Structure 1
């Protein structure tokens, strides 16, 4: 099939990237202003921010004729296979987290700190439900894969100077995926950047379909939230 998407130069790319980021940030503000930095306010903030950013990303992609390629949400060849890839990816990423946090400490970085998030997640059963649904599955699983492996990776693979250099595009989107996790410390940025590289590579192995990535990401985040809640409230067997 002939690619009819509009050519992408650096000026247009930067306008797209910065406006999507601005709407992302603006969209995250109303829940915080209304509910404050409560568990519900922060969970809703993540969801509304991603929602706003995705709407503008959709608009840009549609104008450039790249919507179907970037937001590839067509039915996968096999839902069973998509779930299997998602489950295997989730297991591999959880294992990487266990290894990665030790490696970055060994390298001299501070311990990866996710306490700011887990404090909100584990505040109550309602908080857990909100964070699993709104953050783990919508904002992270669906939203981050659509935003980074969908919109951003598509833009980078079409960008002059990067087009045709797939691994460079994967590396750049992975770094830009890792940086927003700076609240975990630089160790968290490094560990998460590696996850971004993996998901970028995985997209090239799934016929560019996003569903296996969305399922894997959602499973990772939701399982870690549920495990954190269970550990804090003494629900895990000794």
Structure 2
């Protein structure tokens, strides 16, 4: 988590929070609109790779600019390579355990291909292996951007806005979980619940435990990659 050595008032944290929210949402919308303008037809399959590429380039820039308002750098909120092999292994292990639980127990028991999130993702991946490739690229670029925003920017600037301390951290963590789940509403209730449990609760706790973003990024991206591969192999 951020350890800001400089004295920063709540006003700066609030400004960083609001600017970051606006810029991140602008990048999220733009990353979907721009490919739809230049690519023929509806976005599907490999097209989603371009969404992730746009997000990681402009998203990280936007978040870095917003953090500077609170006199923070990306490194200060956990985007650094300290001990990255160990952190990457921890993240991969978390993703693998969640994937095993999901695809051996939860998804088959809750509708399989008929689940709202499964159906949505299968439609986006499309009928060819190139769709899986596109989603794996999106998994790593998009996940990195989301982790830097949700765990790195949103949680830390909201905590600072609330005055810091234990209760502010708890409130900011809860808000991070809720916002992450809500923004996955396009996947239906199944997607909201799963996103809240894994991308919300699990990855937020992982960030609070490890204090860097490496494990979170790998856990997020590896799970998304495994999901794309297994959905295509089992349900397409």
Is 1:150 aligned to residue 152 of structure 2?
yes
Give the corresponding residue for 1:204: 208
1:40-91 deviation line (CA, Å, top 9, x unaligned) = 3343224324532321111111232211222x23223351x22331122113
Unaligned stretches of 5+ residues in structure 2: none
| Paired residues for 1:114-153 under 5 Å | 114-133=118-137, 135-140=138-143, 142-153=144-155
Q: CA contact under 8 A between 2:27 and 2:55: conserved in structure 1?
A: yes
Report 1 or 2 for greater relative contact order, CA contacts < 8 Å, sequence distance ≥ 6: 2
Q: CA contact under 8 A between 2:95 and 2:222: conserved in structure 1?
A: yes
Cα drift, residue 144 of structure 1: 1.3
| Paired residues for 1:43-54 under 5 Å | 43-54=49-60
How many residues in Structure 1 have an aligned counterpart in Structure 2? 224
| Paired residues for 1:49-198 under 5 Å | 49-67=55-73, 68-70=75-77, 72-77=78-83, 79=85, 81-95=86-100, 97=102, 111-133=115-137, 135-140=138-143, 142-160=144-162, 164-165=166-167, 166-195=169-198, 196-198=200-202
Unaligned stretches of 5+ residues in structure 1: 234-238
Q: CA contact under 8 A between 2:115 and 2:190: conserved in structure 1?
A: yes
CA distance in 1: counterparts of 2:101 and 2:178, whole angstroms:
17
Against the structure 1 CA distance between its residues 90 and 181, is the aligned structure 2 distance closer, same or farther, given a 3 Å change threshold? same
Q: CA contact under 8 A between 2:48 and 2:134: conserved in structure 1?
A: no
Three-state SS of the structure 2 residue aligned to 1:137 is helix
Give the corresponding residue for 2:225: 222
Against the structure 1 CA distance between its residues 47 and 179, is the aligned structure 2 distance closer, same or farther, given a 3 Å change threshold? farther
Cα drift, residue 28 of structure 1: 2.9
CA distance in 2: counterparts of 1:162 and 1:50, whole angstroms:
29
Against the structure 1 CA distance between its residues 204 and 121, is the aligned structure 2 distance closer, same or farther, given a 3 Å change threshold? same
RMSD after superposition: 2.8
